[in-house]
Structure formats: structure tokens, C-alpha cells
A and B are shown apart, each in its own frame.
Chain A
Amino acid sequence: MSAKVVTVTSGKGGVGKTTTTANLGIALATLGKNVVCIDSDIGLRNLDVVMGLENRIVYDLVDAVEGRCRISQAMIRDRRLENLFLIPAAQTRDKNAVSPSDMINLCDQLRNDMDFIIIDSPAGIERGFRNALAPSDEVIVVTNPEVSSLRDADRIIGIVEAEEKGPAKLVINRLNPAMVKRGDMLSSEDVVELLAIPLIGIVPEDPAVLVSTNHGHPVVLDEKSKAGQAFVNIAKRLMGEEVAWIALEDRNGLFSKISNIFSGGR
């Protein structure tokens, strides 16, 4: 076994990196893969609480890197899935506690036992992001269909290219099909045209995401949720499967163009 290291990043904060990491981790584990999720946002730990594992932390990423524990001791096993692990970030340190080469070494030691290592990157383009990018085999850029997160995503995509880790794959998160339909939100086609990288997933805006996060029970575990289904599809695409795109009511396709004509462009 040799794991693929996937870095989830975005530039801007609050677009859904941690949510994407948690859901992809659970989806891949549900599909039978051995997965470890690493929270590299040192000082602003959150992946633990999104995954519902916050009460089980003994050691963290910095403890493992600085040799205060074995890596296996810093890996928290998920309660629901025995093949899913979390390495939490340290909460009382800063990004400089870990270097890019520390992250490469850590991932190299995990590669033999895992199928996927998913790294939740901090926001920004500084040290924390560089740490998350260094060991990466594949980069997922999460964006919302909105000007500031798109602009930041474009910066990140440029850096990923310059570091020869590209092309990054794109997740469009929180797309609201009704707003796209009335012309008040960028469509997935618009976003892909602007950023010009391959799309790996479109996650619709879905109140179930917040509700499930409140419970520490990521939305991918809710089979009725469209957002959950979208995350499963991204996981399958990461595994190399061809998955049909879910119809999200409106994708600015032919149907909506025809209906636009009949409704006078509304």
C-alpha cells in the first residue's frame, strides 16, 4: 500500500476546507479505504470538532513531529469507522512549530499503512499552507461561487502550479441552484471558466451540513442529504471512478436557457 496524499486548501477562510476534509475522509473510509486526516491548522484546531472526535485527543501533530509520542499515538481512531484516523493540530503552538520537511517525513512514515492521507490546510498562503502543500500528491482547492473566495482560489492555484503540484482539482462548495437560476450566483460553468482547472465536485448549499456539524456527525453519513451525496461522489472521483454529475436543478444548461427565453430572462 502506498497512500496518496491529498491537500485540501482554499486561500480564503470559511469556504469549507475542514468540512470537505472531514466528509472526504469519512466517505473514503466508508468505501473501504484506510484513511488518516491531518489537521495542519496549528493554533486553530477544528477538524477534531467537525469529525466529533474532540474528546479523545491525547497527543497531536506537533507532539508526533517533535518526538514526544509515536505517530500511532497521535492517531485518533474514529468511533464509527475503524479504518479512519485523525491526527489533530496542536492548539497552543503556532505554524512555525512544524516545517514543510517535517510534514513530508510524517506522511512518508504513514504512506505504507494508508490509502489516503488527507491534509486540512489552514487559510492563507503563508507557512501553514506551505506545510500542508509540501507532502501533497494531489491538491483540492475549495471555493464558493463568490468573488473573494474565487480570487483567493486563483492565487492558490497559481502557487500550486509554480510548485509543480498542479493542476489542482476544484471543489465548488455552497452552490445555491435557485440563485444561479435567477442569475444572482456564478454558475459552476462560470467558475470553471474563470479558474480553468479540472472540476472534481459541486456541493450544493444544504442546511444539513450545519446540522450534522453541530452533532459532530459529518453530513456524508446522512444518506438523504444532497451535499452528503456530492462528497461521496468526490471521494469516488479521487479513487479514479467516473461518476455522473448530480442534477442540481439548474446548471445553466440548455434547459435553463430555453426557460430563460420563455420567462423573458428571469
Chain B
Amino acid sequence: MASLVKKLFGKSKASANHAKERLHLVLIHDRTDLSPEDLKQLKDRLIEVISDYVEIDASETEIEIAVKGREQSLIANIPLKSPRKRR
């Protein structure tokens, strides 16, 4: 809400929000010991393996780490190619 108001008034982002966003990412990687580069490699290999079984839309595939409290989970969204597109 407050950030929406700030956007409407064209204010630059407050430094606390920037700190929070940066920390959010840093803490995920500290806790999981998984760097952004690791995550990218994991995604590429995942696409490779899954493609052996089913046709997927690699460009739309997303993989991210979701945080709930102090628990992290790996969330992958892997769209399958529709039968029509396959032809």
C-alpha cells in the first residue's frame, strides 16, 4: 500500500525497501547454499532430463526458491507443450 502510494507519486525507492529485497535474496542463498548460478544450472539440467520424457516449453520454464518462515522449497513451473503445438 505504502509502496504503491510512493510509486504513484514518483518517489524513488526508500533505502529500507531496497535493503529488505537484497536481504531476502541473500538469506535464501545463505540458507540453501545455492547461488543464482547453481540455480540456473539446475534449471538447465532439469529441462534436459524432463525433455527426455515429455515435450516442455523451455523458454517458459521457471524455477525459484519459495520461503515460508524459515523453510525453503524449490518451486518449478514447467509448462508442457500442448498437443496442437506439437504438430
Contact = CB atoms under 8 A, between A and B. Distances in A.
6 contacts: A151-B27, A154-B31, A197-B70, A260-B2, A260-B6, A265-B5
Interface in B42-81: 69-70
Contacts of A194: 20, 23-24, 27
A186 interface: yes
Contact of A265 (B6, B24, B31): B6
A156 to B, nearest CB: 11
Interface stretch (A18-26, A38-46, A86-94, A177-185): A177-185
Interface in B21-43: 22-24, 26-27, 30-31
Contacts, number: 60
Nearest first, the 5 closest Cβ-Cβ pairs linking A and B are A183-B14, A265-B6, A196-B69, A264-B9, A196-B70
A257 interface: yes
Contacts of B31: 154, 158
Interface residues of B, number: 21
Contacts of A154: 27, 30-31
A150 interface: yes
B11 A185 contact: no
A25 B74 CA distance: 43
Contacts of A146: 19
A182 B2 CA distance: 12
A204 to B, nearest CB: 16
Nearest to A259: B2
A146 B19 CA distance: 8
Given A157-B70, A196-B69, A260-B2, A187 B24 contact: no
A230 B5 CA distance: 33
A147 B19 contact: yes
Most buried by B among A147, A150, A154, A265: A265
B26 A151 contact: yes
Given A157-B70, A257-B2, A151 B30 contact: yes
Given A151-B23, A261-B5, A185 B16 contact: yes
B22 to A, nearest CB: 7
Contacts of B15: 183-184
A163 interface: no
